[in-house]
């Protein structure tokens, strides 16, 4: 299968699970992997960032985050794209541009209200995405003893 997976990451624990699932799917399905961080900035109705100093700084931070994640997860041959604007709309836009077969995002373990808020990205993508969206589950924090035994 030739094609592309777009993996949306942020500076959170959810990035690790998203990258794990996306990298595995990329390998198993033979799909190219594009890592995307969208700096959540003031945007126009189409989701594109409005020009601002804070927006430029946020985009610079997005670029650094992507570099760090690529190094941390040893992602060879991955394409990195830093974007700014509305996260869901920009991810959907990148997926359309890249003619992606899948978008992969992560999720975090949080309380009920915050969980619903965080489901906002998945909910928005489930409307806007041109391709199926994979939401990786939160990573379990193992008990200290178990973690130590596993090392």
Partner 1 sequence: MWLWAQTAASVAELALRPVVCGVDQSQAGGDAARVARVLARLVAAPLVLVHVVDRPDEVVDGARLLARIAHDAELGEVERRVAVGVPAEQLAEAADAERAAFLVVGSRGLGPMRAAFLGSVSMQLVGLAPCPVLIVPPGAAAAFSAAADAAPVQTAAVARSAGADLTDHAARRTWHGRAR
Binding site for partner 1 (CB under 8 A): 1-3, 17, 20-21, 24, 27-30, 88, 101-102, 104, 107, 109, 115-117, 119-120, 122-142, 146-147, 149-150
DSSP of 61-107, one letter per residue? Answer: HHHHHHHHHHHHTT-TT-EEEEEEE-HHHHHHHHHHHTT-SEEEE--
Q: How far is the CB of 83 from partner 1 (least distance, A)?
A: 19
Strand partners, 39: 84
* Cβ-based burial of 38 (10 A; exposed 0-12, middle 13-18, buried ≥19): buried
13: left (phi over 0), alpha (psi -120 to 50) or beta: alpha
Which residue, 20 or 55, is less far from partner 1 as judged by CB? 20
Least distance between partner 1 and beta carbon 49 (Å): 19
Cβ burial of 32 (10 Å; 0-12, 13-18, 19+) is middle
Closer to partner 1 at the Cβ: 55 or 138?
138
* Nearest approach, Cβ of residue 39 and partner 1 (Å): 20
CB closer to partner 1 out of 30 and 54: 30
Nearest to partner 1 of 27, 64 (CB atom)? 27
Largest Cα–Cα separation, the chain = 51
Specify the DSSP class assigned to residue 138: P
Least separation in angstroms between residue 110's CB and partner 1 is: 9
Q: Which is nearer to partner 1, 11 or 24 (CB)?
A: 24
């Amino acid at each position: 299968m030739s094609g592309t997976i777009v993996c949306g990451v942020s500076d959170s624990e959810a990035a690790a699970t998203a990258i794990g699932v996306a990298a595995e799917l990329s390998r198993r399905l033979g799909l190219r992997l594009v890592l995307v961080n969208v700096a959540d900035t003031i945007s126009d109705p189409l989701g594109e960032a409005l020009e601002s100093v804070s927006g430029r700084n946020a985009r610079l931070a997005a670029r650094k985050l992507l570099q760090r994640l690529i190094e941390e997860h040893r992602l060879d041959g991955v394409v990195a794209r830093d974007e700014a604007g509305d996260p869901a709309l920009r991810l959907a836009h990148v997926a359309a541009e890249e003619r992606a077969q899948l978008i992969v995002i992560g999720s975090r373990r949080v309380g009920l209200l915050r969980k619903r808020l965080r489901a906002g990205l998945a909910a928005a993508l489930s409307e806007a995405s041109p391709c199926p969206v994979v939401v990786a589950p939160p990573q379990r924090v193992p008990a200290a003893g178990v973690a130590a035994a596993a090392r």
